[in-house]
Chain A
Amino acid sequence: MAAKNYRHALFCAIVTLIISFPILGFNLEAKGISVTLTGAETSTVIAVVLAAVAVFVFQAYRDSFTGLLGKLPRLNPLAGREPMEQAKKAKLESWILTGIVVLALFWPFVVSRGSVDLATLVLIYIMLALGLNVVVGLAGLLDLGYVAFYAVGAYTFALLSQYTGISFWMALPIGALLAALFGLMLGFPVLRLRGDYLAIVTLGFGEIIRILLNNWTTLTGGPNGIGGIPEPTLFGMEFGRRVKEEGNTSFHETFGIAYSGEHKVIFLYLIALVLAVITALIIRRFMRMPVGRAWEALREDEIAARSLGLSRTAVKLSAFTIGAFFAGFAGTVFASKQGFISPESFVFLESAIILAIVVLGGMGSQLGVILAAIAVTILPELAREFSEYRMLIFGAAMVLMMIWRPQGLLPMRRIHIKLNRQE
């Protein structure tokens, strides 16, 4: 047993050397027009060897290490305590959510412009994740092309503003409804599909939309994207230094304050915040309605759900449509925030990140999804110091997370139905 362990450990160490030495141990340097290969500094070589030794030691004594890990205190500090009562828990969650919203209201006035900008992005991801949560978390339909609906929302606003000069507030419902229509359209062909097959078709759909946007140059500008998307206005007040559209006034002149670029950023943030709260509330409402229970029943057992008279078509289409609607919402805000969009923003990686947020947060749980959206968007920013290793750190964090808490940060606690029976 021990000998086998050592042999395995030695093999792992050698693999580590083979992989890391050519990558880290040699440098390509450009000298004039030719490229020369030079050895790296001694410290790097030592680091590589140390890493190989570390791998050897870990693999050789892996069993004792995992044993130690098991003895570590549970990550959840509340694990030992008595589980809270259902009603109390629900109340606590509402309080936490309210607290987050109140905190978020004052947030932009105390931090830097960059942080507010980032926070707006977080809010957009929260909207997206809440929407995808309906499809994946509640209805159990694995959608890998969710970004397509986000793109539909963003491009609807961009194109309409370019060709008809529509304002943000008009585009918001149109973008969301159009995205919902696309959700409905995607829903029909995938009605009979489940699991892997559904994932593949939705993945394809996401790519079709992106490639269409990329290649329909006459309409969408192709890879050049669309610029000059207007910012939202507040009752006809613009946030720029000078008024762009006739009939509008500017915000700083109306209120007699000095112009500041921050007003616009904060305003956008507040819009995103309000929309994110609306999204959360509407979806919360849906979860308590019969349609929410129908989604869950379908996720749990499709045949049983159908045997009770639930229509597979209606349940699946409603999940897809509602999920897509909020992606369209988020897309419109995104287009307005960036002022410029191109197909680059709607690649598969975006779908994957939104899905990661939903899974990390705990499928179906709103608070969990919100916390996960904050973590997933901010973590790579915080790790910026590590430059090229930051995605590595991000990936490692995800892997660890899935090992320790596969059910997600805050797994969904179902809202139990209680009937008051007359005794």
Chain B
Amino acid sequence: MSMLVLEDVHTHYGKIEALHGVSVEVNRGEIVSLIGANGAGKTTLLMTVCGTPQASSGRIILEGRDITREPTARIMRSGLAIVPEGRRIFSGLTVEENLHMGGFFNTKSEIRKSLDHVYELFPRLQEREHQRAGTMSGGEQQMLAIGRALMSRPSMIILDEPSLGLAPLVIKQIFEIISHLRDEGITVFLVEQNAHQALNLADRGYVLETGKIRLHDTGKNLLANPDVQNAYLGG
């Protein structure tokens, strides 16, 4: 069953059209990667799913519900969580408070449970529980951003460039966590410039070019595709 469906979505910034009819489907329990060059519209696509900006035409369906015209706040409370580009943790708050904000709409006992779960996934965060989030390393901040998104117990998580600016070893850890999330039954929609790792991990992948889906195949096939190799994997 599909978790998220985009049907012929067009998005405009003012008069400029950024997405020219994009159709993407993410099935339940999958990892789907979206790769593309700078300015291809990857982040725009994610933002459109979140409702800021709203799609100018087309349909977006989340778990069978049409969310195309719903406000961002509603969408983000319906089982969808996003790890925004550049992490965007609350740097003045402690690690625990950041996580607490992630479960803003949950009850205390739910928060307690998800907190234990997040600390299990990222033992490092528990060590830093009372540290101000802004003083942590980039990798730890990324872990916190993912942990915060998990606090609302989402059925689907969207990650926007989780490997951005991180050391290779840390990137490896982050990707391990992402594959672990799939094992827990969380659907993952991953947007990456780091195409090799993203496709390696993904069940299926989409290639976005200047606001249009160019290719769509399984992760393995895309990795083997000579066009993809030339354009995104450095030959």
Contacts and interface: CB of A to CB of B under 8 A. Distances in A.
A300 B76 CA distance: 19
Contacts of B112: 419, 421-422
Given A304-B88, A309-B73, A296 B100 contact: no
Given A300-B93, A417-B96, A419-B115, A307 B88 contact: yes
B77 A297 contact: no
B104 A303 contact: no
A284 interface: no
A419 B111 contact: yes
A306 B112 CA distance: 22
The listed residue with most A CB atoms (<10 A of its CB), out of B72, B90, B152, is B90
A310 interface: yes
Contacts of A196: none
Contacts of A306: 52, 72-73, 76
B101 interface: yes
A309 B91 CA distance: 19
B130 interface: yes
A310 B149 CA distance: 13
Given A417-B96, A421-B112, A311 B73 contact: yes
Nearest to B87: A304
A301 B88 contact: yes
Contacts of A303: 84, 88
Given A290-B104, A416-B94, A307 B73 contact: no
Contact of B90 (A301, A416, A419): A301
A307 B89 CA distance: 11
B7 interface: no
B100 A417 contact: yes
B97 interface: yes
A309 B50 CA distance: 10
B152 A308 contact: yes
Interface string B101-131: 1101100100110011000000000000010
Interface residues of A, number: 26
Contact of A309 (B52, B76, B93, B97): B76
Contact of B101 (A293, A311, A416, A418): A293
A288 interface: no
A96 B136 CA distance: 34
Interface in A263-312: 290, 293-294, 296-297, 300-301, 303-312
Contacts of A311: 71-73
A89 interface: no
B88 A417 contact: no
Most A Cβ at <10 Å: residue of B52, B104, B105: B104
Contacts of A7: none
A194 interface: no
B93 A310 contact: no
B82 interface: yes
Nearest to A418: B96
Contacts of B81: 307
A304 B92 CA distance: 13
Given A297-B101, A309-B76, A304 B89 contact: yes
A300 B91 CA distance: 7
A308 B102 contact: yes
A310 B130 contact: no
B10 interface: no
B97 A416 contact: yes
B204 interface: no
Given A300-B93, A419-B96, A419-B111, A308 B101 contact: yes
15 contacts: A293-B101, A294-B104, A296-B92, A297-B93, A297-B101, A301-B89, A301-B91, A306-B76, A308-B152, A309-B73, A310-B73, A311-B71, A417-B100, A419-B111, A421-B115
Given A301-B88, A307-B50, A313-B73, 11 more contacts: A294-B104, A300-B90, A300-B91, A307-B149, A308-B152, A310-B73, A311-B71, A414-B97, A416-B96, A417-B97, A422-B112
